[in-house]
Structure 1
Amino acid sequence: MPRTHELIEVKRRLMSPRALQVAKICIAVAVAWSLAPLMPGTAKEFPYYAPLGALLSMQPTLMRSLRSAAQTLAGVLIGIGLAAIVLIVSDPNVWTLAFVVGLGALVGGMKWMGVGGEYVPITALFVLIIGGPEADGYSIGYATQLCLGIVVGLGVNLLILPPLTIGPARERMLGFRRTLSKHLTEIGEAVLERSPPAREDWATHGEMLDAAARNVRTAVQAAEESRKGNPRAWFTRGNLDADYDALVALENVTFHIRNLTEVLAGMVWGKPIPLESPQNLRPVLQEALSAVAGAISAGVDDPRQPQLLDQAAVAVEEILRTMQQEIGAGAASLSPTAAIVIDLQRILVALRPSRQEAPAPAAS
């Protein structure tokens, strides 16, 4: 059994997007190096720049590859142009080298240059030092071989399983739902404990939830970018509008969970603000937290979601009915629970698709 588990893990790693990208880089570099000697004229004297171009054009998505290739080529051409200006005015020396590198770094620092900015001073330096008296031939060979490598890299990235990250983004979204649901369940369990619970970590998970939300947004944005110009997207449910809507909903849910977590931490631990809550409210509060956690874990495509949302809404209404019975406890005791109820209601509003209407409150 351990051996089987190890084989499965090795297979998973070999089939991962990163492993596939590495394999494609190796193929692109090999093809570019094989084609480089076939280039005409002086370009064949500089075959080592073709693999470099292939390497520079291999990015995680097709659009990023195109953008990187265009920016790199622009940086190279600008660098060649700066070196040409220096050679027209003077021979290479310590002052002209320093000047062209400084000017190239200044131009390359412009925002629109992107990743190609760093190649402006590098190319200018190469042309002046390596090209020297044969700068014309070197520049043509350098640019030609680099273009060959870029074309090869783009072709390999397009033809061999172009990266499409919609599936991983949706998996990360599902994992985020489970994280929020688990967090809400844990704090619900802490509410019922008579003495302060042994575990306090749930009270400090706010930053972790925010970081998880940012990671999911990054994954969804990367998935949207991976669709553009990708033929694999034609055969995949590639419209991410619903995923963006779900992400915005979960970000709102995260905000409200952080709010009610602080309130519950004050009720259970007395920090950051000491708060009170009648003991009779705690069972219904725990049931509502558990019900809302179940609604969070169900995605939009889950057929159980409408029922779970309705059940959660009923559980939250039960808190309000119990609060009416505890009206004699005073505002100081009931206010924290009222704040939690508002956050729970807002969570349910964020989770409920716009086409659904919330169930009417039960008559008291």
Structure 2
Amino acid sequence: MAYVSDVSYGAVPVVRRRAVRTVTRIADAGGPLRAGQVFRATLAGVVAWYLCIWGGLSSEPYPAALAALLCVRSTVFGSFSSAASYAGGCLLGALIALPVVFTSWPTYAGLAAVLLLSGLAGGSRLFGAHGMHVPATALAVLVLARGEVQQQLVPHIADIVVGAVVGVLFNLVHAPVRLRAAESAVDHVRSELAVVLRGLAGALADGEPPEERLGRAWRDPLAARVRTARGELEHARESVRWNPRRRARRAARQRLDEEALSALERLVDHAGEIGRVLDRAVPPEDFRGGYARLLHSAALCVRECRRGFRHPLLDATRHGWEALMRDTDARHHRHGPGSEAGRAVLAVEGRLLLLLDRALADLDRPQASP
């Protein structure tokens, strides 16, 4: 039976099932967020163009519209950073080329000096993705004659500044926050891990290898979910950086569950190791039933693994683990600690109990109140 993480919809029509999956994929990928960013960038470009014409800065203020488009980002901090690097890069490129324009007509030596300096400056980490605008602006300035600097360069730089400011203001007015996507990604990890633990329990109870129940590559989608959740958590934390909305910052502190995700990451590693142990050997039947019940209980605890909540089943699961540990110790001594059967008990059952003990300890760590 292959590992399937999608929810079973029973008799729901195929069309509705596909529609639900499509909407889920779009939401997980941040589709609405990107659409909102494109809309804000478009509106910011139009407003920057109108302001430059209305203020008499230039008749065709395309640099203002371009700067506004480039400075509308998915986060407030990203918008500030993009505005500073883009406007600063263009201004630095102009400053590098101006001495050559005013001292002499650009020669090969002057062109080489401008390209070298602007290229080195543009490659700095300070300008990030906008570093290419340093040499591009420097080359554009070299084309100007001395008398055209004030008539063309000054309005050009002014348009860029206006566009960058408009882009930042649009992000400040509607500062996007990605808390919901991060919460959803962490919840997906909980659900996937609970399904895996139940699958391991079912395979163990039936004496099957985990691959028979979960599929050959069952670890890959679980690891992918963890990576996605970690990335969404980083994006959410970045979205409240420099965010002027106090409510958003407070909500981020309450809802971004870093402790739970770290515990889930360790639990995923423990589940993978349990699967590897069961791939190598099948424990005896009197051990399999008790351990399978503990895995089912752990799956229920995983589903509610979050900060500030302690699952009431966790203590009972710990007591069940202790009882199974006593039975395993008794079996080990009955076979003889130095015998081959005794060593086999430690190699399989002892290892499985150790991994489950670590998993239960990790489930107990994020339960402290926030």
TM-score (norm 2): 0.81
Residue 87 in 1 paired to residue 101 in 2? Answer: yes
Tell me how far apart the structure 2 counterparts of residues 124 and 337 of structure 1 sit (CA, whole Å): 70
Whether 1:345 aligns to 2:357 is yes
Q: Does 1:332 align with 2:339?
A: no
Contact 1:187 1:202 in 2 (8 A): no
Q: Which residue is 1:279 aligned to? A: 285
1:222/1:343 Cα in 2 relative to 1: closer, same or farther (>3 Å)? Answer: same
Alpha carbons of structure 1 residues 198 and 176: separation in structure 2 relative to 1, 3 Å:
closer
Cα 1:302–1:280 change in 2 (3 A) is: same
The answer for the alignment partner of 2:122 in structure 1 is 108
Q: 1:194 to 1:249 in 2, by over 3 A?
A: closer
Identity over aligned pairs, percent: 28
Tell me the secondary structure at the aligned position of residue 352 of structure 1.
helix
Offset at residue 203 of structure 1 (A): 5.5
Cα distance in structure 1, aligned partners of 2:71 and 2:256: 31
Contact 2:260-2:366 within 8 A present in 1 as well: no
Residue 195 (structure 1) shift:
5.0
Compared with structure 1, are the counterparts of its residues 69 and 18 closer, same or farther at alpha carbon in structure 2 (3 Å cutoff)? same
CA distance in 2, matches of 1:311, 1:194: 25
- Please tell me whether residue 143 in structure 1 is matched to residue 148 in structure 2: no
Change in CA separation of 1:173 and 1:355 when aligned onto 2, cut-off 3 Å: closer
The amino acid of 1:187's aligned partner reads: L
Find the counterpart in structure 2 of residue 37 from structure 1: 53
Give the residue type in structure 2 aligned to 1:227.
V
Distance 1:73 1:352, change over 3 A: same
Taking structure 1 as reference, are residues 9 and 251 closer, same or farther at Cα in structure 2, changes over 3 Å only? closer
Deviations 1:133-177 (A, max 9, x none): 423433212211011111111111221x32011122111111111
- 1:182 aligned onto 2:195: yes
The residue type paired with residue 280 of structure 2 is G
**2:326 maps to 1:321:** yes
The Cα offsets for residues 208-234 of structure 1, whole Å up to 9 and x where unpaired, read as 434432322221122122123334442
Larger deviation, residues 187-196 vs 338-347: 187-196
Amino acid in structure 2 at the alignment position of 1:234: R
Which sections of structure 2, spanning at least 5 residues, go unmatched? 1-12, 336-340
Q: Quick one: which of 272, 275, 278 aligns to 1:264?
A: 278
Contact 1:183 1:202 in 2 (8 A): no
Aligned length: 343
Give the conservation status (yes or no) of the 8 Å contact 1:108–1:121: yes
CA distance in 2, matches of 1:84, 1:124: 8
1:21 pairs with one of 37, 51, 75: 37
Structure 2 vs 1, CA of residues 240 and 80 (structure 1 numbering), >3 Å: closer, same or farther? farther
Q: Distance in 2 between matches of 1:91 and 1:292?
A: 77
The CA RMSD measured in Å over matched residues stands at 3.2
Residue 340 (structure 1) shift: 1.9
2:241 is equivalent to residue 228 of structure 1: yes
Name the CA distance, whole Å, in 1 between partners of 2:64 and 2:22: 35
Q: Is the 8 A contact 1:277 1:334 kept in 2?
A: no
Deviations 1:85-128 (A, max 9, x none): 33244423555445423432222112222233221111112222
Q: Which amino acid aligns with 1:226?
A: S
What runs of 5+ residues in structure 1 fail to find an aligned partner? 268-275, 357-364
Partner Cα distance (1:149, 1:229) in 2: 20
Aligned AA for 1:344?
Answer: L
Q: Is the 8 A contact 1:74 1:116 kept in 2?
A: no
Deviates more, 1:134-143 or 1:175-184: 134-143
Match in the other structure for 2:186: 173
- The separation in 1 between residues aligned to 2:367 and 2:186, in whole angstroms, is 22
Counterpart-to-counterpart distance in 2, 1:57 and 1:50: 11
d(CA) in 2 for partners of 1:260 and 1:9?
A: 34
**Distance 1:102-1:257 versus aligned 2 partners, 3 A rule:** farther
The residue type equivalent to 2:232 in the other structure is: A
- Partner of residue 68, structure 2: 54
Q: In the TM superposition, what whole-angstrom CA distance separates every residue of 1:187-209 from its partner, at most 9, and x where no partner exists?
A: 22222334556737555444543
Letter in 2 for 1:351: L
Change in CA separation of 1:286 and 1:50 when aligned onto 2, cut-off 3 Å? same
> Contact 2:305–2:366 at 8 Å: present in 1 too?
no
Equivalent runs, 1:185-204 vs 2, <5 Å = 185-196=198-209, 199=212, 202=215, 204=217
What code does the residue aligned with 2:284 have? P
Whole-Å separation in 2 of the counterparts to 1:307 and 1:244: 22
Q: Distance in 2 between matches of 1:132 and 1:315?
A: 85
CA–CA separation in structure 1 for the residues paired with 2:245 and 2:110? 50
The worse-fitting range, judged by mean Cα deviation, of 227-236 and 210-219 is 227-236
